[in-house]
Amino acid sequence: MKALLISEKDIPSDSISVSTKDRIVILQGTVDTVLQAHQAVEVASSVSEVIDVVDTQLKVKDSKSLIGDALITAKVKGKIRHLFVNRKIAHGYELHVETTDQIVHILGAVARQADLDTVVAAAKEVKGVKSVKTNIKLL
C-alpha cells in the first residue's frame, strides 16, 4: 500500500503512515492540500482487497494566506480555461487545482505531454506563485 502512495507524484508519502487491519486501511499524517488527501484515499481504495479507508487521522496543512491562495487557484484555473478556449491544450483534459502557501498543486490528466508542459508554464506565470507541483497523467 505504501509503495502505491510513493509512486504518486505530489503526495508527500513520507508524511503519511499507512496501517491495515481486517482489510481496512488507516491513513494518518499531514498533507499540503485537500487534493492530496483525496488522492491518497483514492489510491488506498483502489486496492482490490481493501474494503474501507479511514482518513479521520489524515490532516490538511493550514494555509497562511487562505484568501491569497484561493485567488491564485482561481487565476491558474482561468489560465487553464484560456489555454483550452484558445486551443493551446487538447480537449478532454481533467485538471484540479489547489494552492497552499503560494505553492500550486495540479492533479488530473491531459491528452499530450505538450499540454502538461503548457499548463505548468501557464501556472508559473501567475503572480504570487512560488512553485508548481503536479500529479498529471497522460490520457
**What are the extents of the domains in the chain?**
2-60, 66-138
Are 37 and 29 in contact by the 8 Å Cβ rule? The answer is no
- pTM recorded for the entire structure: 0.79
CATH of domain 66-138: 3.30.300
H/E stretch holding 48 reads none
Mean pLDDT of 105-133: 97
What is the band of 62 on the pLDDT scale with cuts at 50, 70, 90? confident
Q: Kindly list the strands in the beta sheet with 103-110, ordered across the sheet, starting from the edge strand earlier in the chain.
A: 94-100, 103-110, 131-138
User: What are the pLDDT digits (tens) for 24-51?
Assistant: 999 999 998 898 999 999 999 999 999 9
